[in-house]
Chains A and B, each alone.
Chain A
Amino acid sequence: MKEELLEQGAVSDEEIRERSLQLRLRAGHQIESEEEMTPRYREVLVQTMLIAADLELMTLPSYFGALCNAPSLDDKISVASAIQDEMGHAQVMYRMLEDFGMDAQELIMGRPPEAFKSFELIEQDCGDYITCVVMMALGDRAGYTTTRDLEANCSFGPYTRSLRKVNYEERFHVTHGERWVRHFWNHSPRTRERVQAAVDLLFPMSASWFGTPDNMKKRTDQLTYRIRGLSNDELRQQWLNEVVPFCESVGIRIPAHFDSTEGRYVLSYEEPIAWDSEARQWDYENRITWPEKFAHWKKGGPIKRAGLERIQNERWGAALW
């Protein structure tokens, strides 16, 4: 193996190690321990797991308002149970990061909120039960698309195995969200309006969950190392394939449709779109630049700072409730 690689122009031992790892990964090899990793592989894996852990953690502040305002005891239990599932996922992922020398206590309690690597979607304050079930139908569907890909394709064995239970739970959140979205859509004109308003807000953010389009992504290390199996656009397509037929079957208006020329579901707008903070709606007419979009993402959504600060300064006892 070493001779062959040297003939192909590899120079250093480090590069030989790197290329033999990539060959083994392409052949379907699963990594089980840190010793088998190259520094670059380790870096990409750790970053992927850290983002995943932060996204799970952000569910708590995002859903907390819905927990407090849930209309019935059963609804309250269902939100509490979803939050508990997500905190369990976060716990598993932060715990795995400790195997890579990170300190979960420091990661959760010690980092400034702006250092958390969450996405705009989960930095929204769901606030009420209807928005929360829309979040489950659209947003958990996006998260579940990502975690299903990781379970099926990730080259790090311990991570894929940890996702089996995670994915059963995410699938339930999606089913639960869809069930109640349909219910509130048909319940009354007022609840229908509220479902539509939540979809109008969250749909483009859910589509952005998968990141920038493939044609502008410079780093594809996640794919090189088979940390993920599908690209941003492929994941987004998978999500559209599932979420558009659901929304159409209910009757919800969405900025996506089936394009018969392309033979696939597509977004009805071109990214990047601007958030009109005065009208509190997406502006599909005036496009912004990607640097402007990145700056918007970097600012963090409404609940990011407040929610993380609350986690890091939580008072217990009577003051808690």
Chain B
Amino acid sequence: MVTEQRLVEVVGAVHDPHLPFGLAEMGMLERVTVSPAQAVDVVINVPCHHCPGLQILRDDIETALRQAGVTQPIHISFQGREAWQPVSMTPEVRAAMRTMGIQTLPSRVTEEGAPA
């Protein structure tokens, strides 16, 4: 039986399909839990609706969990409690993105885009 903490590490280390950074440092991993029925529930918040990389991400998470020894059913949801925001990324990821020419909002905003 793989511990929840180990599951979080495994899923958190799966890379975003577009960038060479893990889901944890991208701020995209909301939670990994084991349900009472022993299924592994993964909740990911993605930056863009209809991201063309979602299927790749789903495949990569499943592969990583299976390789880590997970044998029970896996449920992956891309709809978490809170929407992803650029500030969800670690400062290291934001700095790396800047060097490749991608600028990101430095503070949290409301759904309407006003400062939170």
Contacts and interface: CB of A to CB of B under 8 A. Distances in A.
Interface stretch (B52-60, B86-94, B104-112): B52-60
Interface residues of B, number: 15
A172 B50 contact: no
A172 B102 contact: no
B52 A77 contact: yes
Majority DSSP secondary structure for residues of B touching A? loop
Interface in B32-74: 50, 52-56, 59
A164 B100 contact: yes
B61 to A, nearest CB: 13
Contact of A77 (B19, B50, B99, B102): B50
B18 A73 contact: no
Contacts, number: 35
Interface string A22-64: 0000000000000000000000000000000000000000000
Contacts of B50: 73-74, 77
A91 to B, nearest CB: 13
B17 A172 contact: yes
A175 interface: yes
B51 to A, nearest CB: 8
Interface residues of A, number: 16
Interface string A153-180: 0000000011011001100100110010
Contacts of B52: 74, 77-78, 81-82, 176
Contacts of A175: 17, 53, 56
Interface of A: 73-74, 77-78, 81-82, 161-162, 164-165, 168-169, 172, 175-176, 179
8 contacts: A74-B50, A162-B101, A165-B101, A168-B18, A168-B20, A172-B18, A176-B53, A176-B56
Interface of B: 17-20, 50, 52-56, 59, 99-102
Given A73-B50, A168-B100, A179-B59, 11 more contacts: A74-B52, A161-B101, A162-B101, A164-B101, A165-B100, A168-B18, A172-B17, A172-B18, A172-B53, A179-B55, A179-B56
